[in-house]
Structure 1
């Protein structure tokens, strides 16, 4: 049953599959949820069978502890999926995210040209942020593949779970999955520093220890790429600082002001021409922005972001303006999705 449903998801370029006992299977395509044809509701026996088929001993131990488990699942030669198993009224529930076999290029994703500057970066911190389901993993995979096709580098990825798989081209890439190849992100970061890395991807900076380890890696001359579930650049800076106790925050601000290379915050929107399209905010860490971060004046960063076009910076408002101008979204979409409605409305008034 599961294989047939996942095969359908891959064939029809849906983004997600949802299964819960008592409901018909559900697909998501271009943000819209819908039931699968005339299929019957999933029974408890069917759901139990699916989980028993895909769970390993490690998965069972982890699930019994956390009542949730993330894993990768592959249809050989066709597609990979990130699967989460959780509980719903004492029964299992499943959510599967489709991961295409082919890694899209940065151009295909519509990523800003400024991201190609990563080929010139040898150390520091690049942060890719956005809400769940807004394409962070795909963006990082595209960036890493861009590097892999051009540079002779030793790249390590630390993921939960592994999503896109890479083949060595100009670079040598090692991919590690939480629970299978490593115990924790922070411990993996500690040991990977002894393995001659050039570039390290951290699947998620989810706690203080992982953030500390990532900062340490960047401080010791490595390029660290990481993701966070934050909406925009300013919130990202605040989140990293606030994860530490008050007495450590001054030091973290100082470290971040020197190590940060760029923050790319992204949001997927419905494309009026079909499919989805990406809107990005790009913050580049200039000396002036570094000073504001160090002095704890994050609220002033936005004004520099607005005027930083010559450095390759872009606000969400700029990105949405461009998408609306090119006919990918309409004015209503732009207003609904802008990071700050107040700023958007003020700008519209100034144009009148």
Structure 2
């Protein structure tokens, strides 16, 4: 690869964790290997070029910067300290000739920025700023908060047990401080995306603490961010309380299984538990397509390939199309965002693959309607037929505040049988709720059934169950029969 740099075919080599080796060419970065490197592999490659004196910084994985001699030329090996994970570059070292006259007095020290950086106050130190940000993330994990909010004019705010709580000993943030913190951890690609589109998503990890999903945006006051905690370890179906009937969907060889719910309802965590069950019980190839990668799965009985949109693939659609040539058995699509992705997921499910996906819908019936309504009217009958044959189950969930703290999931469960398939094919989705109510012995359950159970078992307050219900009139009747007074709540829908 150094020969490519020497010839001018490339200007830089990029060695980065969670990515293949890449060369920067006039047309942009190009992968020159198929294998995705780990942080240890990156450091091992660089360690081969380091002298004995330089190996200490390489082993520590910090402040790596040295010259490597090859073919009569010196090559600069340098660590990108702004990257959230191990990232090093190799490029030709250009020396500057000494001036013939005495140099002028040195100018005041000015911070140097890479082309991917956007300047902010030059006195700001990226390392110190990153440490401050990571201190907030550590506090988020220590207190068991689901999210951290950074907003101009507010101190850092945590979501604890479903409520937003301001961190009392933290000062109010301004636009400059929020911008510094988010830019200190943003990968170069996301820096460019944020500057172009004013919002971006990426994953961040503090080794030994947790992984985080970060969304950076701009609002009327300036920069803002929401950081969600992702468990450092995968969760299991047993820990999540996933019913045996839903677990049985993981034994299917083909079909479409959807986990739905509003934003922040725990869809990713439930999918993680289902993938972990497959990983422990089958001998298959699982491909996940996510934006960003949240839970990191280690291959157990299965082989797992995880791809991140924008890092390892251009889009959900292109990754799903490519996955069919990668010998998959199970494919997880992090989000069914558009018509083409939905159509491709159904076709993939019909052709002998098990496909997991998510949608932002609140009930099983609304999930089916959402999929059908994505398509033009002249194609909807065909889509209903396809969906009736490919759809195997829908888990629609919402998170409720638990009595005593924490949150618990209430799940509506639809297991697709012949009766449900017929309803989908004929467009009678309004009757699906009745089928769920009459087929409880098959493991089906309405959202109101799940909420009522949580109230009866003392896990959730009646008011919380009413607020989370999608069918509030029926829920109010159930709760009044149980002896609860709902006079303080809004009028029944």
Residue 186 in structure 1 maps to residue 306 in structure 2: no
Residue 13 in structure 1 maps to residue 170 in structure 2: no
Match among 297, 303, 310 for residue 428 of structure 2 = 297
- Report the Cα offset of residue 351 of structure 1: 8.5
1:268-307 equivalences in 2 (<5 Å): 268-307=399-438
Deviations 1:179-230 (A, max 9, x none): 0001010111000000000000000001111101111211211000000000
Deviations 1:301-333 (A, max 9, x none): 111011111211001111112111211013333
Cα distance in 1 for partners of 2:477, 2:306 equals 46
Q: Which residue of 1 aligns with 2:234?
A: 103
Partner of 1:149, secondary structure, is helix
Stretch deviating more after TM superposition (318-327 or 133-142): 318-327
Partner of 1:72, secondary structure, is strand
Cα distance in 2 for partners of 1:231, 1:52 equals 35
1:76-87 equivalences in 2 (<5 Å): 76-87=207-218
Partner of 1:164, secondary structure, is coil
Q: Which residue of 1 aligns with 2:79?
A: none
Q: Which residue of 2 aligns with 1:319?
A: 450
Stretch deviating more after TM superposition (268-277 or 225-234): 268-277
1:189-338 equivalences in 2 (<5 Å): 189-338=320-469
Q: Which has the higher contact order (CA 8 A, sep 6+)?
A: 1
Match among 265, 269, 279 for residue 148 of structure 1 = 279
Residue 70 in structure 1 maps to residue 205 in structure 2: no
Cα distance in 2 for partners of 1:65, 1:213 equals 29
Gaps of at least 5 residues in structure 2 are 1-131, 484-493
Q: Which residue of 2 aligns with 1:113?
A: 244
- Report the Cα offset of residue 346 of structure 1: 5.0
Gaps of at least 5 residues in structure 1 are none
Partner of 1:322, secondary structure, is helix
- Report the Cα offset of residue 88 of structure 1: 2.0
Cα distance in 2 for partners of 1:219, 1:26 equals 45
Cα distance in 1 for partners of 2:480, 2:442 equals 27
Cα distance in 2 for partners of 1:245, 1:165 equals 37
1:39-78 equivalences in 2 (<5 Å): 39-78=170-209
- Report the Cα offset of residue 83 of structure 1: 0.3
Q: TM-score, normalised by structure 2?
A: 0.69
- Report the Cα offset of residue 340 of structure 1: 0.2
Cα pair distance change 1:344/1:43, threshold 3 Å? closer
Larger Rg: 2
Stretch deviating more after TM superposition (269-278 or 52-61): 52-61
Cα distance in 1 for partners of 2:329, 2:187 equals 33
Partner of 1:98, secondary structure, is strand
Cα distance in 2 for partners of 1:292, 1:44 equals 53
Q: Which residue of 2 aligns with 1:91?
A: 222
The structure with the greater share of residues assigned to helix is 1
Cα distance in 2 for partners of 1:327, 1:85 equals 38
Residue 135 in structure 1 maps to residue 296 in structure 2: no
Contact 2:251 2:278 in 1 (8 A): no
Q: Which residue of 2 aligns with 1:122?
A: 253
Stretch deviating more after TM superposition (46-55 or 301-310): 46-55
1:335-350 equivalences in 2 (<5 Å): 335-346=466-477
Match among 270, 290, 297 for residue 166 of structure 1 = 297
Q: TM-score, normalised by structure 1?
A: 0.96
- Report the Cα offset of residue 47 of structure 1: 1.9
CA RMSD, Structure 1 to Structure 2 (Å): 1.6
Cα pair distance change 1:197/1:270, threshold 3 Å? same
Partner of 2:432, secondary structure, is helix
